[in-house]
Structure 1
Amino acid sequence: MHAVGAEQVEEAVADCVAALGTVTDRDWTGVRAGRLDWDCRKTAAHIADDLIAYAGRLAGRSASGYLPFTISLDEDTDNAGVLRTIEATGALLAAAIRTTPRAVRAFHPYPFRHANREGFAAMGVAEVLLHTHDVAEGTGIAYEPPAELASFALTRIFPQVRPGPTPWRTLLWATGRGDLPGREPVTGWHWSNNPVLRSERLTLEGVTPATAADLSLAGDGGYEWVGGATAEGTREGAGIMVKQYEEGLFHPEWGMYVLVRRDDDRAVGAMGFHGVPDGDGRVEIGYDLVVGARGHGYATEALRTLSRWALEQDGVRTVAAVVDHGNVPSQQVVDRAGFTRVFEDVEQISYELRG
């Protein structure tokens, strides 16, 4: 399957080199890079350091921490040499993204201590765009990258940032580098890779705004689905998530999770919460399997895992599920997962699992 992100890393690096290549004849060492405490030289070198670090973690399948290496430029490296190093390390990250299997996750601290290849691509793009901006600001040149690159980063690692007037202005605001009308200045921030939970046979992968948008438009979301396509309920749920993102109400932990079989990396369905827990500590859950994956206990297994996780979170006391009267298989799923019937009318049955 196509490795999304490699081309975006290459485009971001090319844009960086083109912009900063116009000022390589200037002194970068004695000039502060935008709002950073670093000078322009150190900031540009940091871009290369991040790119090779991300490539190393992906290629090495680093699971528990940073790799014990960093880049050290020769003392006589000029500014053009720094840019050549950015080009080389960007190519290495793009290659690592293309050659890393979709399901692989490697260490990154924010916020769940891991990221997949698409997450590393988004982080690499963000580092290149933002620090190119910092150096450009320090050297007094105008810089604005393609809107698609800023959007690529926002919809993958800034899921809780409500879209603004333009992707680039929104990304600058989200990282404390600019202002947006009607929004308070950002003084502290970090990006957020998608959450992942594991059950006996499945990996529950949290959906990003980018994935939700693709699924809502009948795309595959970057997954190979049993039977070749998602279920209708998954597309509808993804559409709801897109609206939440547009309204600034997207919370990745309390959104949708795609259920992926670990033995063949194929998606069997989706499960997720209708929103964040309410004031009484109650959260509602829903799910949907593709037809070809039903009857194997996947829904029960995933429901137990996701419900247990929810009840372990601070303030959550009840996980609820509502099932149609005629949907007997779904009723059996919630029964096997330990839910109790609490109310029913002529159309639906309400279930609860309490902590």
Structure 2
Amino acid sequence: MLTLGGEQVEEAVAGAVALLRTATDRDWEAVRAGRLEWDCRQTAEHIAGDLIAYAGQLAGRATQAYVPFEITLDDGTGNEGVLRVVETTGVLLAATLRTTPREVRAFHPYPFRSANREGFAAMGIAEVLLHTHDIAEGLGLTYEPPARLCADVLTRLFPHVRPGTDPWHTLLWATGRGDLPGRPAVTEWRWRNNLVIDAERLTLQGVTPAAATDLAAGGDGGFAWVEGGPYQGTRDAAGMLLKAYEAGVHRPEWGVFVLVRRDDGRAVGGMGFHAAPDEDGRVEVGYDLAEAARGHGYATEGLRALSAWALARDEVTSVFATTEPDNTASQAVITRAGFHRVTGDDTEQYAYELRG
């Protein structure tokens, strides 16, 4: 699903609460939640705490740290009361998602210190699905959420994980809660919200496998494009990203980015890496712009920002780019971004390099 938001959060919460209500007569504090150190009661309270925390991050537009508050249940609150709190915090997160503009990002530590509304929706759904599994395992209940919700979470928070035929069991494996044939056990894990690189007039927003699927199929990838966008090169790059994701070799920070104008939130082009840095520390970049956005210096600005980000990584020694000999506009962009040509006039493509 391209759009992930309040409706899916409510669906996840409703399914979880319906199952757990069948066991409210049990002593949740006496039972450990699956493989966690918490008991089932603590785990249910944790779900509610995460849902309200995510709503608070977005509603408060927190950018540097978590908003310093937490939820506390009244003394004597029973299991049914806990579930009512889970329902309520789910509604609050869903309402916040529906009223938060797409370009808003708020603080979350993993791994690039921010997430947009879709990222917070995915994290909220993941907390509900995974911790309901933990509680259900402790209480001896059978729980299997909709495969579609699991796939939505995987394509947004686990772009580095090769998808499997069963999204739910792939998600459980990716979070250390189960086994998959032919894959090693997971003992440590973090989910990965998309990387956003700041430039002066633009942000370079990392494309998730969910967005790449839509772009490659002819859609907008969830971005509001200027007239004529996205250009075919961006769609082709999205297709390459999908192939890497399906093969389990996609490294999100070395993928595709969409150039988005700060002043109006419109996407103007695509830019990204052909692959992760090679053994010599060289990484290749490519880019395109929608025709309506050309002539404003966006490509140069984006290329400078992306190259600077790459060269700041220890594993990168140089950034490489190629262009056709007759593409003088592209050559001008590369030159203005500080690259130097490293091939002669007799080559089929001109190659340029920028070293750190």
1:182-230 per-position Cα deviation (integer Å, ceiling 9, x unaligned): 1111111111111111111001111111111111111111111010531
Residue identity matched to 1:167? P
Equivalent residue of 2:186, what SS? coil
Structural mapping, 1:261-340, within 5 Å? 261-340=261-340
Tell me if structure 1 keeps the 8 A contact 2:229–2:268: no
What corresponds to 2:16 in structure 1? Answer: 16
Residue identity matched to 1:197? I
Root-mean-square deviation over aligned CA pairs: 1.1
User: In structure 1, what is the Cα distance between the partners aligned to 2:92 and 2:302?
Assistant: 36
What corresponds to 2:351 in structure 1? Answer: 350
Tell me if structure 2 keeps the 8 A contact 1:3–1:102: no
What corresponds to 1:53 in structure 2? Answer: 53
User: In structure 2, what is the Cα distance between the partners aligned to 1:24 and 1:12?
Assistant: 19
The answer to which of 258-267 and 227-236 deviates more is 227-236
Residue identity matched to 1:347? E
User: In structure 1, what is the Cα distance between the partners aligned to 2:241 and 2:247?
Assistant: 10
Moved over 6 A (4+): none
User: Could you tell me how far 1:126 is from its partner in structure 2?
Assistant: 0.3
User: Could you tell me how far 1:165 is from its partner in structure 2?
Assistant: 2.7
Tell me if structure 2 keeps the 8 A contact 1:40–1:135: yes
Tell me if structure 2 keeps the 8 A contact 1:199–1:302: yes
The answer to which of 34-43 and 65-74 deviates more is 65-74
Provide the identity percentage: 67
User: Could you tell me how far 1:349 is from its partner in structure 2?
Assistant: 0.8
Structural mapping, 1:110-149, within 5 Å? 110-149=110-149
Equivalent residue of 1:257, what SS? strand
Tell me if structure 2 keeps the 8 A contact 1:3–1:98: no
How high is the TM-score relative to the length of structure 1?
Answer: 0.98
User: In structure 2, what is the Cα distance between the partners aligned to 1:41 and 1:340?
Assistant: 62
Equivalent residue of 1:227, what SS? coil
Equivalent residue of 2:191, what SS? coil
1:180 maps to 2:180: yes
Structural mapping, 1:160-239, within 5 Å? 160-239=160-239
User: In structure 2, what is the Cα distance between the partners aligned to 1:87 and 1:109?
Assistant: 25
Number of aligned residue pairs: give it: 354
Q: Unmatched 5+ residue regions in structure 2?
A: none
User: Could you tell me how far 1:71 is from its partner in structure 2?
Assistant: 1.1
User: In structure 1, what is the Cα distance between the partners aligned to 2:62 and 2:80?
Assistant: 31
User: Could you tell me how far 1:79 is from its partner in structure 2?
Assistant: 0.9
Tell me if structure 1 keeps the 8 A contact 2:43–2:135: yes
Equivalent residue of 2:27, what SS? coil
Equivalent residue of 1:127, what SS? helix
User: In structure 2, what is the Cα distance between the partners aligned to 1:120 and 1:326?
Assistant: 45
Tell me if structure 2 keeps the 8 A contact 1:3–1:97: no
User: In structure 2, what is the Cα distance between the partners aligned to 1:301 and 1:204?
Assistant: 10
Tell me if structure 1 keeps the 8 A contact 2:4–2:122: no
User: In structure 1, what is the Cα distance between the partners aligned to 2:284 and 2:265?
Assistant: 27
Q: Unmatched 5+ residue regions in structure 1?
A: none
Equivalent residue of 2:230, what SS? coil
User: Could you tell me how far 1:315 is from its partner in structure 2?
Assistant: 2.4
User: Could you tell me how far 1:8 is from its partner in structure 2?
Assistant: 1.1
How high is the TM-score relative to the length of structure 2?
Answer: 0.98
User: Could you tell me how far 1:3 is from its partner in structure 2?
Assistant: 6.3
Tell me if structure 1 keeps the 8 A contact 2:228–2:290: no
User: Could you tell me how far 1:6 is from its partner in structure 2?
Assistant: 1.4
Residue identity matched to 2:352? Y
What corresponds to 2:91 in structure 1? Answer: 91
Tell me if structure 1 keeps the 8 A contact 2:343–2:352: yes
Tell me if structure 2 keeps the 8 A contact 1:129–1:145: yes
